[in-house]
Amino acid sequence: MRNGPIGFGLCAVVGTLIAAPALAQKMPDIGFDSVGRGEPLAASVADLPEVGPNWIRQPGQRRDDPNRELNGSRTPPEGYEALPRDLFTSDDFYADTELWSDPRYFRCNSPMATEFQQGVLAPPGVNTTDDPANGPWGHCDVDYPREAIVSPYGFETAQEHYEALLEETRERGGPDVYSFEDFPAAEWNGVYEPPRGFGGGVSNQENWYWGRHSQISTILSLLTPKYRQWMVQEAYHQVRGNALWPSTFCWPEGFMRRWYPAAVREHYVIATPDMVQVSTGVARNFIQNIHVGREFNMDDVASGGVPRLGEAVPRWYGETIGFWDGDALITWTSNIQAWKSHSLFEHSAKLQSIEIYTPIRDDAGTFVGLNHETILYDEEALVEPVRIVRNLHKINKFTDPDQVPYTFIECVQTIFSVDGHNAPLTPGAVIEYEMPDMYGRPWATIWERYFEQGMSRPDATEDLFNFE
């Protein structure tokens, strides 16, 4: 009988990507050993089953089909024993910190699966009752390995990482400065596929940050104590149907939603020698402007500030600089507003990213897409840097006759929080409305006011547990 925390060393053989059908999760061969990019993944989500629980739907099957099959179980999986108290039965998750490192506290749910419990992401919910205590289990013997999530490069800050890549590029004769006449990335211009496989299967863009292949306790092990608490708070309210997504209220989406499948569709890339723009979105617009050849203002860093381009005011999607190393674009984003992303962890205003866009080519050398490798640094939220790898498959040129223009999104709020619940309102409805603090944690303010009475929420989080 396995009653304690579990750990896994799942791995996958990762080969060189040379063809479009092999886009999912693979890394391209950049032709040399780099100090900070192109390292093969220790494991691929394409090789792993989902943690669950979620509905298994056959092609053409309706969401509410009574014959749909559950990927998970209504009772603890064979060989595992339920804890006397877990996320689904606890009346005070703050008091359970010593249990958070045990996957069974979360009934071996993945982060995304907490959104399936009451159907807040994909109705109907896998918990077919209103009682969270009846929530089903995921697969306790499945987990995306932590070593495939953390950065393999050993840098402690984004600045250190960026400067190392810049020096490496200089040693190779760069950075490259192009005109429109000799610009190799002109072939990037066009439209890239949306994240398929959201309801099943594997997408070229799928990665661990989707939250389908990891145990919650594994993700918590990446976080500092305060941010662990905040992620458990999110999970606790998700499984009770109290989800508060920023897009519900037309609040900003935040920097990290760029990697979440429910928040993005086709990616539109416009590449020029000195500016590259990536646009996408669903409820809000994500626009990344990469300023090639620019340098950050570092004046405030010594006093606790972050590198920036403009004023010392955080931007919802940050500010980005970059340089060309041949036909690859290496970028650094800073000055990001602290925020959240669905069932994954919140990030602080210290978050910075190193992102590398590398062309993917088929056997004939034809450009088929972009490998997007991201390393995230956040000294306040993360105990060590983490990496996200996805591949963007180009599906159209802007000149293709069947290509529709980018649809700019205007989010019109029709849902408001009324006594802590998401209430769709019709024109003419009158409610009492309290202006949220958009630069704080407005979702937590609602949860704590309406659903956490009597809980032992600490004023300051102590490191009462660890994952060592």
Under the banding of pLDDT at 50, 70 and 90, the label for residue 257 is very high
Query: Which residues pair with residue 150 across a beta bridge?
Result: 386
Residue pair 5/100 in contact (Cβ under 8 Å)? The answer is: no
Q: Who has greater pLDDT, 22 or 23?
A: 23
Residue-level pLDDT at 386: 98
pLDDT at 20 over 50: no
By percentage, how much of the chain surpasses pLDDT 70? 91
Residue-level pLDDT at 23: 55
Residue-level pLDDT at 201: 53
Residue-level pLDDT at 203: 79
pLDDT at 377 over 60: yes
Under the banding of pLDDT at 50, 70 and 90, the label for residue 305 is very high
Under the banding of pLDDT at 50, 70 and 90, the label for residue 82 is very high
Among 117-121, 203-207, 279-283, top mean pLDDT goes to: 279-283
Q: How far apart are CA 181 and CA 202, in angstroms?
A: 39
Rounded mean pLDDT, 283-312: 95
pLDDT at 333 over 80: yes
Which is nearest to 320 in space by CA: 308, 305, 303, 306?
308
Other beta carbons within 10 angstroms of residue 317's beta carbon come to 23
Q: How far is CA 283 from CA 1, 116, 262, 270, in A?
A: 46, 20, 9, 21
Query: Which residues pair with residue 344 across a beta bridge?
Result: 341
Rounded mean pLDDT, 413-417: 94
Read off the pLDDT of residues 24-33 as tens digits, 9 standing for 90 and up: 568 999 999 9
pLDDT at 464 over 50: no
Q: How far is CA 33 from CA 30, 39, 182, 254, 357, in A?
A: 8, 8, 26, 34, 17
Residue-level pLDDT at 64: 76
Residue-level pLDDT at 11: 31
Residue pair 166/175 in contact (Cβ under 8 Å)? The answer is: yes
Read off the pLDDT of residues 196-239 as tens digits, 9 standing for 90 and up: 765 555 678 999 999 999 999 999 999 999 999 999 999 999 99
Residue-level pLDDT at 125: 93
Under the banding of pLDDT at 50, 70 and 90, the label for residue 15 is very low
Rounded mean pLDDT, 81-99: 98
Mean pLDDT of the chain: 90
Rounded mean pLDDT, 229-253: 94
Residue-level pLDDT at 71: 96
Which is nearest to 56 in space by CA: 139, 143, 140, 144?
139
